[in-house]
Structure 1
Amino acid sequence: MLILGISAFFHDAAAALIRDGEIMAAAQEERFTRIKNDASFPLNAIRNCLDIAHVSVDELDAVVFYDKPLLKLERLLESYHARAPFGWRSFLTSMPVWMKQKMMLKKVIRDELSVLPGYNKKKLRLLFCEHHLSHAASTFYVSPYEEAAILTIDGVGEWATTSISAGKGKDIRVLKEIRFPHSLGLLYSSFTYYCGFEVNAGEYKLMGLAPYGDPGSEEFLRMKQTILEKLITVYEDGSFVLHQEYFNYVSGLRMVHEKKWEALFGFPRRKPESALEPCHCNLALAIQKVTEDVVLKLAATTKQLTGLESLCLAGGVALNCVANGKILDKGLFRNIFIQPAAGDAGGALGAALAAYHIYFGRERALYSDEDSMQHAYLGPAFGYEHIVKALRRKKMVGLEYKDEAVLIAEVARCLKEKKIVGWFQGRMEFGPRALGNRSILADAADPEMQRKLNLSIKYREGFRPFAPVCRVENAGRYFNLDVPSPYMLLTRPLAGRFCLPLPEGYASLNIREKLDTVRSTFPSITHVDLSCRVQTVTKGSNPRLWQLLKVFEELTGEGLLINTSFNVRDEPIVCSAEDAIHCFMHTKMDILVMENFLIYKEDQ
């Protein structure tokens, strides 16, 4: 049975294809159009999935959309009606899109697919899955657990913003929901907006900014208290109410009432790209701590309601790896699985899986103790001929290595010499993280590498940290971590033996002063709070990267590298060899490794 899942028309459109419950392919549309967070119909991603599986549209048993647009329209109309005459401008802005596209979604999907070969509209079975069920299915059905609690937290689907469910075999049972307009995701996005970052794209920047705040300062304590007294009421079970008089996302064109927030916090909304001041850092820290507290309460309630030992997480808030680390520390669950494409892109996969197991009633098969995400390497791969053509087209020269061991030895030598390596291998990752197939690699021990990567390679804000990658065998040596972290979705403290003494008054230093303080023997992957967003690699999941880490350790004594996504700011992660070459030539990367080809910048 072949089922295609689709997410589109909000942000981060994607497609996923499953065959008899097994994932064949999944990819985000942005990787093909080169438009960051592209929300358009994922025609390129669909074509890629069909090509990988060697099937046509007519061979599909169903196409499933990841939410129910009419329920979402009901929510919008009820919200506008409840606040009338306020929200008139927002209503006039949104309704034409609904009338032309979303109200007619069945027709839109059928018409969009008509450009693909082997397609008969009359044969197409089109299904729709509720948004939070798509999230829940995306994490539970690919987890290695026969039975698990499921916690999904995001901005909003149709009505639900948070859901607690129990999964067993092929069934998912919803136990509790929190409904719009009360949303932890929209609360976090409101602070993303107020701190000058882009909503639905800059939340991870806010999370990265939070550790620059001073947890002992009066300003931070006052801000956190203000949030809890004025903006949100949090109950012991993790349920909450947002005080809507301070927010504008329900029927307005902005997230918050800016004048009211300025009165609360003492400063206006930060203009994008303007300087980051201590007040912005403290506000980011305040909302991060509130978010963690709510997530922990929700996790405890999930445990209480289900009594289960395993937890599956999804929804955009599940990308908050700091909060995920807090759940791990709490020890509420013996096992935790987080969907690597936890946001709306993963909804495409969840919709397909939900249709297979719930609509068609097919049983679930568990094959091993590992999840069935195939390490998130679910996108296209590009072989010898594609790479050779791309190099010739760009008139570039490179060396092809027949012996993999010799190639890895040379790359490890270059990394030891502080070279920056573009690493392009195998199938592209699905989800927002580069996990070793579309990565930029560098030496984590180089104290200048964070600054160099941010300013000369990524062209992004200097405060943002980089993630480390290590072999799973070494995880406990480098980090306070006793479980695998294959998807870079857990933040863990660096092991104390690698941390250096911090100067007196460190917490109150400004951003630049904290950045300039050498905090560990691996300064380029150690955030200012001595935490790291860790990826672990097994020999089975990524043999070539695992071997590179091993050889690098033999050369240097330490098997730890920076792993950051192969892209520059405001561009998607590279997909094809042409994308990789373009990024390589327009940054200060030193070496590009594409499969068995090694290209030196100095030779071009």
Structure 2
Amino acid sequence: MAARADGPVVVGISAHFHDSAVAVLVGGELVNAAHEERYTRVKQDPSIPHRALRHCLDEAGLTLADVDCVAYYEDPVKKLDRQLWMGLPKVPDTRPEALFRLDADRPRRDVREVLGFDGRLEIVEHHLSHAASAYYYSGFPDAAVLTVDAVGEWATTTWGRGDGDRLDLVDEVRFPHSLGLLYSTITGHLGFEVNEGEYKVMGLAPYGEPRFADRVRQLITVTDEGTFTLDLSYFDFRDPDGMGTERLTELLQVPPREPESEIGQVHCDLARSLQLVTEETLLALAARARRLVPSDRLCMAGGVALNVVATRRVVEEGPFKEVFVQPAAGDAGGSLGAAAVAHQRITGSRIAPARMRSALLGPPVPAAEVARTVEAAGPRGFLDFRGREPELLDAVAGRLAEGKVVGWYHGRMEFGPRALGGRSILADPRGADMRDRINASVKMREAFRPFAPAVLAEKAAEHFRLDHPSPFMLETCEVISPLDLPAITHVDRSARVQTVTAADNGRFYRLIKAFEARTDCPIVLNTSFNLRGEPIVCTPQDALLCFLRSAIDCLVLEDFVIDRENLPAAWRTWFEGTRPPRASVVSDSVYTLL
């Protein structure tokens, strides 16, 4: 093995299910990470992340020849064992593009043939990758670890122990018993797309009352020991048309909602009931983690850890003094964990034991490329603030204060599902109609969906019931601001807060400071820079296209400001295009287990 002087170069890969991603460690330091979908523009692209890898290596000044090890985020043989157990003799989808998921050798072949890497390959089990993505990036010297998702190979929930360099999984719940699949089943029943619409259910829940909670509790039995089982008579995880049986509909007494149809109070009440039972269950799982591992610290990962309302209850009501949630807690974050485990196997030591401070990990676009993109339209249509950042920020803050919606593109791209000031849509949180306007004509999504606030960290406690940093938007809290903030305050007076610091957020922090100087409001509305059903923008061209196809008023591309009213007519022709397709292997109605 060829080792660099500053330690091994390890590449972590998650792929072949949904939302493939890559992470690069150099000498135990995380240098960058990126989602493949951002480059291919295919939502939740599951393919081997060769584009993301190329960009990450280029940005790090590396080539594939410098890589000492590639780590894959799950064991394909063990996964195939579960797939065959649940899928045969009836395999619901026999298309070649679906059957590749039953090929346990595909990850190895893709690493060798598509990526062109012929060196050391480490296989890391799925939930160990999740656990490592939380523990090894928490900065904790020891911790209990809880991972909860739909399913990996066989495990759906695991409890682990992190102690110094070591990380071990000590217990698990196995498929088909799955809290994530329970949530996804009712997500589909409510007419939302599975593996994407769970966020919508969480956002819909505060509009309802938990009058179906006792019925939902009949679906899951949580033991006194803090484990659980599902009543499998209500589920069929092999049915390509939906994961709930007719008996589920009989129990809930709520017929399945047709996608895109009207949302009624009954749907809000079912969402609230599901959310409540999920919170109760996650609290029980966290309590078991404390009994199994006598630490005051908890690390969490897996898709269910992205349920920010449930996570907040664990933070507030759970038995731990400190809680760290991996900001890319879903499968993409498995690339971080797989790389960290491989580093430990190679060196015998954990990666650099420091808290992950930023999720701005994607390769930045060179300033010259941004300038070429903007200048291609000719000398008119944009304002050039190169070398004049204070004037740029004052100009953008002024537009926000005027009630304009701003597309903000600066620096490194976010890793994980949240926009954190790299690829964001920004607005004044005080606007009475701002949430409805952005949902309808900018994001083009459901009216009930909430937006998040980004707040200067030193002012957060004045406006939110929050006593610790929240840099990744991973928990909700109560809005207590003396300001009226209707655009970021949910119906239950909650908000999913991002605290912003000068050290970690740079220009984005300075923009909010400029906005505060104009308005006495240290908060901006912050949502991801994309349209419904599309990945977050990656390149300047992506940002321009999103700008043109939405009702965003102003686009900030690094040092350039483009106002819609000054947009050259030629740009509408140059950047016209069709909406990128969704990944064909990801189903809207079922969690694709095969």
TM-score under structure 1 normalisation? Answer: 0.89
For residues 100 and 389 of structure 1, the distance between their equivalents in structure 2, rounded to whole angstroms, comes to: 45
1:227 aligns with: 216
After TM superposition, the structure 1 stretch with the greater mean CA deviation from structure 2, 280-289 or 235-244, is 235-244
Number of equivalenced pairs: 558
Retained in 2: the 8 A contact 1:136–1:350? yes
1:524 aligns with: 487
- Counterpart mapping for 1:166-185 below 5 A: 166-185=161-180
For residues 16 and 188 of structure 1, the distance between their equivalents in structure 2, rounded to whole angstroms, comes to: 28
State the 1:261 CA deviation: 2.2
Higher share of residues assigned helix: 1
For residues 76 and 93 of structure 1, the distance between their equivalents in structure 2, rounded to whole angstroms, comes to: 16
Q: Aligned pair in 2 of structure 1 residues 16, 461: CA closer, same or farther (>3 Å)?
A: same
For residues 205 and 530 of structure 1, the distance between their equivalents in structure 2, rounded to whole angstroms, comes to: 17
Match of 1:30 among 33, 37, 44: 37
Q: Aligned pair in 2 of structure 1 residues 269, 424: CA closer, same or farther (>3 Å)?
A: same
Match of 2:86 among 60, 79, 82: 79
State the 1:497 CA deviation: 4.6
State the 1:359 CA deviation: 4.7
Q: Aligned pair in 2 of structure 1 residues 70, 392: CA closer, same or farther (>3 Å)?
A: same
Query: Letter of the aligned partner of 1:379 in structure 2?
Result: G
Q: Aligned pair in 2 of structure 1 residues 8, 236: CA closer, same or farther (>3 Å)?
A: same
Per-residue Cα deviation, 1:555-579 (whole angstroms, up to 9, x for no partner)? 1121111000011101100011111
- Counterpart mapping for 1:188-587 below 5 A: 188-214=183-209, 220-221=210-211, 223-229=212-218, 231-249=219-237, 251-367=238-354, 371-372=355-356, 374-395=357-378, 397-401=381-385, 402-495=387-480, 497=482, 521-587=484-550
Per-residue Cα deviation, 1:215-260 (whole angstroms, up to 9, x for no partner)? xxxxx32x2111112x1111123311111111111x3324434422
For residues 172 and 18 of structure 2, the distance between their equivalents in structure 1, rounded to whole angstroms, comes to: 23
Give SS of 1:196's match.
Answer: coil
Query: Letter of the aligned partner of 2:535 in structure 1?
Result: P
For residues 351 and 24 of structure 2, the distance between their equivalents in structure 1, rounded to whole angstroms, comes to: 16
Identity %: 45
Retained in 2: the 8 A contact 1:162–1:183? yes
For residues 258 and 244 of structure 1, the distance between their equivalents in structure 2, rounded to whole angstroms, comes to: 9
For residues 157 and 241 of structure 2, the distance between their equivalents in structure 1, rounded to whole angstroms, comes to: 22
Structure 1: unaligned runs, 5 residues or longer: 215-219, 499-520
Per-residue Cα deviation, 1:28-50 (whole angstroms, up to 9, x for no partner)? 00000011111111111111111
2:129 aligns with: 134
2:560 aligns with: 597
Query: Letter of the aligned partner of 1:13 in structure 2?
Result: S
Q: Aligned pair in 2 of structure 1 residues 54, 195: CA closer, same or farther (>3 Å)?
A: same
Q: Aligned pair in 2 of structure 1 residues 600, 136: CA closer, same or farther (>3 Å)?
A: same
Query: Letter of the aligned partner of 1:56 in structure 2?
Result: T
State the 1:127 CA deviation: 1.5
Q: Aligned pair in 2 of structure 1 residues 531, 96: CA closer, same or farther (>3 Å)?
A: closer
State the 1:547 CA deviation: 1.5
1:518 aligns with: none
Give SS of 1:272's match.
Answer: coil
After TM superposition, the structure 1 stretch with the greater mean CA deviation from structure 2, 399-408 or 319-328, is 399-408
State the 1:362 CA deviation: 2.7
Please report the RMSD computed on the Cα atoms of aligned residues, expressed in angstroms: 1.8
Retained in 2: the 8 A contact 1:4–1:62? yes
Query: Letter of the aligned partner of 2:440 in structure 1?
Result: L
Query: Letter of the aligned partner of 2:432 in structure 1?
Result: P
Give SS of 2:416's match.
Answer: coil
TM-score under structure 2 normalisation? Answer: 0.91
Give SS of 2:160's match.
Answer: strand
For residues 97 and 437 of structure 2, the distance between their equivalents in structure 1, rounded to whole angstroms, comes to: 46
Retained in 2: the 8 A contact 1:238–1:295? no
After TM superposition, the structure 1 stretch with the greater mean CA deviation from structure 2, 320-329 or 545-554, is 545-554
Q: Aligned pair in 2 of structure 1 residues 137, 443: CA closer, same or farther (>3 Å)?
A: same
| 1:155 lines up with 2:150 in the alignment | yes
- Counterpart mapping for 1:39-188 below 5 A: 39-80=46-87, 88-90=90-92, 92=94, 97-98=99-100, 101-114=103-116, 121=118, 124-188=119-183
Structure 2: unaligned runs, 5 residues or longer: 1-7, 568-594
Give SS of 2:110's match.
Answer: helix
Retained in 1: the 8 A contact 2:80–2:103? no
Query: Letter of the aligned partner of 1:345 in structure 2?
Result: A
Per-residue Cα deviation, 1:265-311 (whole angstroms, up to 9, x for no partner)? 22321111111011111111111000000001111111122121111
Q: Aligned pair in 2 of structure 1 residues 282, 302: CA closer, same or farther (>3 Å)?
A: same
Query: Letter of the aligned partner of 2:393 in structure 1?
Result: I
Query: Letter of the aligned partner of 2:146 in structure 1?
Result: L
Query: Letter of the aligned partner of 1:235 in structure 2?
Result: T
